[in-house]
């Protein structure tokens, strides 16, 4: 009888380890904070030590500025790297945008990848983390980081920085994006990092948005979307944040879109915009002086401004306040 009970308990334990359980079952509680003050260092990067217990939310930032992919265009560090994360943290930024993909062994890789989801010339979902890292390093010698690496980098005393996590959707890979998002929720919950993350749902995936609405509510993680939705839709669907492209979604200045900041603020929908730059980064940038001035003037009404040149943008905001 005793052997039977032990066998039954083992089977129950295995059944409880199912992959990505639905949030209707309730989030799995994260581990209790450690009481020790042991120091650990993230390999391959110059970072603050990880101290326990860790902060559970960022401290207020003077500047609601987000560094796109870690602002590699300005810092010279590789995008989506630990070095660029540290650059944003030391600037005192409100946030850093980063991109995620899921490996074949269920690791959340922080990398932009190609349209087909390749990193180091390997299709991420077809390879393990070890295989992807063995295929190449970042240009500064770092290994390609995983989500836990960046969370460890921002969850330090005095940090103002949170991660704006863009869930990449590879070609014909909507299921892969959903799996990456769901695994990220589990990691964030296990580290008690919910206040250090905002998810961004790309315009390419309506199914991912549906999952975000369910999972983020269950895990108490904030999120937004770049989808072309009206302010009324954000309100009715209880999407907490509009994330809009200055070049293609918004009508201000040289933007070719149809929405204005006032439409969202009048509707009570928080709005952040990307990218306001000092030079062209890609087709999603505005960088002409007239439009830059419009967004500088609108800054008090915005949740954040995302840029590839955060030190430059902070300088412009300081100059505007002093004038």
The more confidently predicted of residues 40 and 320 is 320
Q: Please write the tens of the pLDDT for every residue from 39-93.
A: 333 434 445 556 668 899 999 999 999 999 999 999 999 999 999 999 999 999 9
pLDDT at position 204: 77
Whether 33 shows a pLDDT value over 80: the answer reads no
Q: What is the pLDDT, as a whole number, of residue 247?
A: 97
More confident residue, 74 or 6: 74
The pLDDT value given to residue 53 = 83
Mean pLDDT across the chain, nearest whole number?
89
Tokens of 173: 């890979």
CA distance 138 to 110: 12
pLDDT tens across 136-189, in order?
999 999 999 999 999 999 999 999 999 999 999 999 899 999 999 999 999 999
Beta strand spans in the chain (E): 63-67, 93-102, 108-110, 118-119, 122-123, 162-167, 197-201, 222-225, 242-245, 271-274, 304-307
* CB 298 within 8 Å of CB 252: yes
Q: Measure the CA–CA gap between 40 and 20, rounded to whole angstroms.
A: 28
Task: Give the β-pairing of 93-102 and 108-110.
Answer: antiparallel
pTM of the full predicted structure? 0.87
Residue 37 has pLDDT above 50, yes or no: no
CB-based contacts of 82: which residues, under 8 Å, 6+ apart? 42, 44, 45, 47, 142, 145, 149, 150, 153
What pLDDT does residue 203 have?
87
264-302 pLDDT per residue, tens = 999 999 999 999 999 999 999 999 999 999 999 999 999
Q: Which residues contact 12 (CB under 8 A, 6 or more apart)?
A: none
pLDDT band at residue 243 using 50, 70 and 90 as cut-offs:
very high
């Amino acid at each position: 009888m005793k052997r039977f009970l032990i066998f039954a308990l083992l089977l129950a334990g295995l059944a409880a380890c199912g992959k990505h359980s639905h949030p209707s079952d309730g989030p799995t509680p994260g581990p209790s904070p450690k009481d020790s003050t042991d120091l650990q260092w993230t390999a391959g990067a110059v970072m603050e030590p990880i101290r326990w217990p860790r902060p559970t939310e960022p401290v207020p930032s003077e500047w609601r500025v987000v560094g796109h992919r870690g602002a590699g265009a300005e810092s010279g560090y590789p995008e989506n790297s630990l070095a660029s994360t540290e650059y944003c943290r030391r600037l005192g930024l409100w946030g850093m945008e980063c991109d995620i993909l899921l490996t074949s062994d269920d690791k959340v890789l922080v990398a932009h990848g190609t349209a087909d989801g390749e990193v180091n010339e390997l299709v991420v979902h077809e390879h393990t983390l070890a295989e992807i890292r063995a295929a190449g390093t970042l240009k500064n010698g770092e290994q390609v980081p995983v989500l836990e690496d960046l969370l460890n980098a921002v969850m330090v005393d005095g940090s103002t920085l949170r991660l704006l996590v863009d869930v990449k959707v590879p070609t014909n890979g909507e299921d892969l994006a959903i799996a990456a998002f769901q695994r990220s929720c589990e990691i964030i919950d296990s580290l008690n990092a919910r206040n250090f993350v905002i998810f961004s749902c790309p315009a390419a995936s309506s199914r991912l948005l549906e999952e975000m609405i369910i999972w983020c509510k269950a895990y108490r993680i904030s999120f937004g979307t770049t989808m072309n939705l009206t302010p009324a839709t954000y309100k009715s669907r209880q999407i907490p944040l509009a994330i809009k492209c200055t070049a293609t979604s918004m009508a201000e200045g040289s933007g070719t879109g149809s929405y204005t900041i006032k439409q969202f603020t009048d509707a009570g929908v928080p709005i952040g915009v990307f990218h306001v730059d000092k030079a062209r980064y890609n087709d999603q940038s505005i960088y002409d002086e007239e439009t830059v001035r419009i967004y500088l003037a609108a800054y008090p009404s915005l949740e954040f401004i995302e840029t590839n040149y955060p030190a430059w943008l902070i300088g412009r905001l300081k100059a505007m306040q002093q004038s």
